[in-house]
Structure 1
Amino acid sequence: PVHLGGKDLGPDPYTLLLSALASCTLSTLRMYIDRKAWQIGTINIEVNLSQAIVEGKIVSTFYRNIIFGDPITEDQNERLLSIARKCPVSKILENGIAIETQTKFLN
């Protein structure tokens, strides 16, 4: 952000994270749909993030909407919801995350 000394020339970290979730979801769905040879046209993914403080901790909730351009069957819908939850980025975000950081020196 400009107010923090940035130049506002690229996406913010939240947008990058949401983009990763959306693109992973779409790729995972497309691979499954192609493997099943289902005739499903346009798919759009909408993702949003909400954060709240609960008991002194930040709780993040991701909202993901999968929008199909054409109708699909109820069986396809249920299966594709299940597949979307299995995309690699979803799995990372839904599990406990630990981040270990260290410094290294070139010389």
Structure 2
Amino acid sequence: MQISKKEIDTVKQSHDLRTVVSSYGVKLQKKGANYVGLCPFHNEKTPSFTVNPKTNLYHCFGCNAGGDVIGFVTKTEGIGFREAFDGLSGNGKSITPLPSSILAQGL
């Protein structure tokens, strides 16, 4: 069954990206209008991962990863769009954050 744009938008709007990112162990600090932290997708010592709470999007200036809450879960969990969508919408397997030590290794 195909997912409608309305359903996708509802899931995106119903999840605060900052909260989801933090649930994966990424420590975010407020910097201006955004939140910054160490990127969960590559090793770094200087924070280059940014979450914009106004747009509910993320971007890493170090590895150029970026997207919305569904994309973040897809990339972090290593799963497909549909599985991430279903997990976030409550219609599938629950999304369980991975330990940050595993995320830092890029697994």
Indicate the structure with greater helix content.
1
- After TM superposition, the score normalised by the length of structure 2 is 0.28
Please identify the structure whose Cα radius of gyration is greater: 1
- After TM superposition, the score normalised by the length of structure 1 is 0.28
Indicate the structure with greater strand content.
1
